[in-house]
Amino acid sequence: MELGNSRRALVRFASLLASFDESSYVAPRLCEAARIVVGADGASISAALLNTKHELLCATDDVTQRYEELQEVAGEGPAFTASRTGELVTVRLGDVSADHWPALAVMSNDLEGTIWSVPMRPGRLVVGVLTLHRAHGPLEEELETVQEVADAVGTALLQDSSVLAPVTSDTEAWSVRSQLHQASGMVIAQLGVSPEDAVALIRAHAYAHDKDVSVVAADVIARRIDYTDFRIGGD
């Protein structure tokens, strides 16, 4: 029986991943495997927490790394949009007349090719963005397949508790971040606060009750903790 395009790509992705040195960090291995499978010249992976903060985990080449850094400086770009909307975003580099992200367009006008920012969304949760670059022509896989590969990358990252260790002093595991993301969304719905305040409230609760953040986040998700009647600053 012939495999469909997506299935074939995922099988190749898994095979490539298994062939890499397992002693190296998982994020660069996932990034390189995804790059090869979809036929990109370069790739990068950034983590997203509540769509307000992006952390670059890895990049396979100078172009994607520089573009990620420029997005961070500009405070805008396709990775931010993909993370916020959960939709794949395509950008033609060098188009300074682009309506979206004008500051980024000017800053990156010396770069050439096409960028695809693909949300990694295992389940319904966007946990980060896989950014792909190709100097000439389209990717070798259909965008639907590219999305499935990105989702597979996100799933693999969620299963690895040490994925953030090489790039940040924050020792929370990726799985804890995904729980915190979901729990914070519930707090935002209950209180109407900002994402930053929702995270701060969960962390403060954990500190006050001498619990791990993951435990408090799990309690919020399971509705054992409900902040509906919570008041801030004596309101």
Q: Are 46 and 54 in contact (CB under 8 A)?
A: yes
pLDDT at 232 over 70: no
pLDDT digits (tens, 9 = 90+) for 157-175: 877 644 434 334 343 445 5
Q: What is the pTM of this model?
A: 0.69
Report the distance separating Cα 12 and Cα 100, nearest Å.
Answer: 35
Mean pLDDT value across the chain: 81
**List of E strands, the chain:** 42-49, 53-59, 89-92, 114-120, 128-134
Q: What is the pLDDT of residue 168?
A: 40
Hey, which CATH number is domain 174-221, 1.10.10, 1.10.720, 1.10.1200, 3.30.70?
1.10.10
Q: What is the pLDDT of residue 118?
A: 97
Domain 5-158 matches domain 174-221 at the CATH topology level:
no
pLDDT digits (tens, 9 = 90+) for 194-216: 777 777 788 777 767 777 777 88
Query: How many Cα atoms are found within 13 Å in the side-chain-facing hemisphere of 96?
Result: 6
Q: What is the pLDDT of residue 230?
A: 60
Structure tokens belonging to residue 78: 């396709």
Report the distance separating Cα 34 and Cα 72, nearest Å.
Answer: 23
CATH superfamily of 5-158: GAF domain (3.30.450.40)
Q: Where are the domains of the chain?
A: 5-158, 174-221
Q: In what order do the strands lie in the sheet with 89-92?
A: 53-59, 42-49, 128-134, 114-120, 89-92
